[in-house]
Structure 1
């Protein structure tokens, strides 16, 4: 389980875009997004760096991840 702080998310479209980006890396990933807290929790077998890169490439800066 990874928890990432992701900036610039403000609406349902942002949630859908980030979710799609993560699922492009791991189709079986579970993605839970706290829009108000700007937190993205990902349960995935993919490497953290791959998940981070996908979110950044979708246009959303990842400011912390663990």
Structure 2
């Protein structure tokens, strides 16, 4: 499946692959999300790439991360 944009999130609070799984699942459930890739930085800011075909609002992305657990979005780069 193709995508036309990537949104990079800086997320804190992720400590293990279980965290990665929760965040990935919540973001993939959003409409227009094609794929999600996470580079885990235990105890730091993890890099989460969201591949999409639409411009997803910041609030929607933050809400999905919040639903995944005790994680915090530190930055969003488009």
Q: TM class, shorter-chain normalised?
A: 0.7 to 0.9
Instruction: Tell whether 2:61 aligns with 1:51.
Output: yes
Which stretches of structure 1, 4 residues or more, deviate above 6 A after TM superposition?
none
Q: Number of aligned residue pairs: give it.
A: 66
Unaligned 5+ segments in structure 1 are: none
RMSD: 1.8
- Residues of 2 paired with 1:40 and 1:56: CA distance? 14
Q: 2:3 corresponds to which residue?
A: none
- 1:6-29 residue CA offsets vs partner (Å, 9 max, x unmatched): 011111100100000001113752
Unaligned 5+ segments in structure 2 are: 1-5
Structure with the higher strand share, 1 or 2: 2
TM superposition score normalised by structure 1: 0.83
TM superposition score normalised by structure 2: 0.72
Mean CA deviation greater in 5-14 or 56-65: 56-65
Report which of the two structures shows the higher radius of gyration computed on alpha carbons. Answer: 2
